[in-house]
Amino acid sequence: MSDQYPLNNKRRDDDEKCNHVSNLATSQKWDELLAYLEEHDYEINHTRKSAAYEMPPSLMTPLHIAADSNAPKEVFQRLLDLNASRCLKTAKGKTAFDIAKAKGLSEDILDLLKIPGRVKEQEKDIEVMEKSLHALLRSHAGIQACLVKSRQRKPQLAYLFEFQNNISDFFYWVPGMHGGVTVTRHEKGIIVAWYSNIVSGSDECHFIKRDGTRTVYNEDEID
């Protein structure tokens, strides 16, 4: 998940940059973190990238860390204003709301962190499509090999429906693939396209319906 973000945003190019946001949040340097994110808002949902010898990534975004650290309410509000995701889950399957509730944070903070209704209403469809998306990625030997080597988690689909008013797609960077996967929201499901300079089977495009069935994408047939 650490490499999932809106398609039109930049990509992190090294571990130091990858971990900068997480380091600031973990150190509770809230003013410095927020000032940085004001200039680099595309990193708002970034998580720590673990080295090969370390434990697998925790997938803790700045919002998760703020909840775990009992940050001031203003920090949560500013992170959310920068499009911090309420829906993204840690490696343990916890949202920022789950962490905040377990920590006993105030009701006004919990209200800020609740999963949006538009996501809750489509929860079953999103879960079915996400499972189908992950199965599709596993079916591609080159992509699966890259993900296993990097220990990167597969993308979380609720993110795409959380920000449906201003985000219609996201790019999921696959380490070692020299490319990645674009996931685009469609009224009848999602469109999945991947591109790589080195992995065979580049430029493939698939359509996943809301019931989880997959087909090769054909615009005329879908519309």
Which of these three, 70, 90, 115, is where a domain ends? Answer: 115
Query: In terms of domains, do 147 and 46 share one?
Result: no
Q: What does the CA dihedral 22, 195, 162, 73 come to, rounded to 10 degrees?
A: 10
From 51, 84, 115, the end of a domain falls on: 115
- Domain range enclosing 186: 123-222
User: How far apart are alpha carbons 143 and 136 in whole angstroms?
Assistant: 10
Q: Hey, how many other C-beta atoms are within 10 angstroms of the C-beta on 94?
A: 20
How big is the chain by its Cα radius of gyration, in Å?
Answer: 17
Do 47 and 136 sit in the same domain of this protein?
no
HSE (CB half, 13 Å, CA atoms) of 93? 0
pLDDT at position 195 is 81
Residues 10 and 66 in one domain: yes
139 and 83 within one domain: no
Same-domain check for residues 103 and 199: no
pLDDT at position 220: 65
Largest separation between any pair of C-alpha atoms in the chain: 52
CA-to-CA separations, 4 to 17, 35, 176, 220, in angstroms, rounded: 15, 22, 15, 29
* Cβ-based neighbours of 223, under 8 Å, separated by 6 or more: none
Residues 21 and 55 in one domain: yes
Q: Do both 127 and 218 map to the same domain?
A: yes
140/120 Cα distance (integer angstroms): 30
Q: What is the pLDDT of residue 7?
A: 44
Are 51 and 143 part of one and the same domain?
A: no
Which CATH number is 36's domain given? 1.25.40.20
Q: What is the pLDDT of residue 17?
A: 64
25-to-46, 95, 120, 172 alpha-carbon distances in Å: 11, 16, 28, 23
The pLDDT value recorded for residue 2 is 46
Q: What is the pLDDT along the chain (223 residues), one digit of tens a residue?
A: 445 555 444 444 445 666 899 999 999 999 999 999 999 998 999 888 766 555 667 899 999 999 999 999 999 999 999 999 999 999 999 999 999 999 999 999 999 999 999 999 999 999 999 999 999 999 988 889 888 888 888 999 999 999 888 889 999 988 888 888 999 999 999 999 988 776 554 567 999 999 999 999 876 666 5
Nearest to 116 by CA among 181, 51, 59, 160: 160
Residues 156 and 108 in one domain: no
Position 193 scores a pLDDT of 93
Write down the residue that tokens 């996931």 correspond to. Answer: 183
Q: What is the DSSP letter of 212?
A: S
* Predicted pLDDT at 3: 56
Residues 6+ apart with CB under 8 A from 166: none
Neighbours of 125 (CB within 10 A): 16
Q: Are residues 111 and 180 in the same domain?
A: no
The predicted pLDDT at position 11 comes to: 44
> Same structural domain for residues 100 and 157?
no
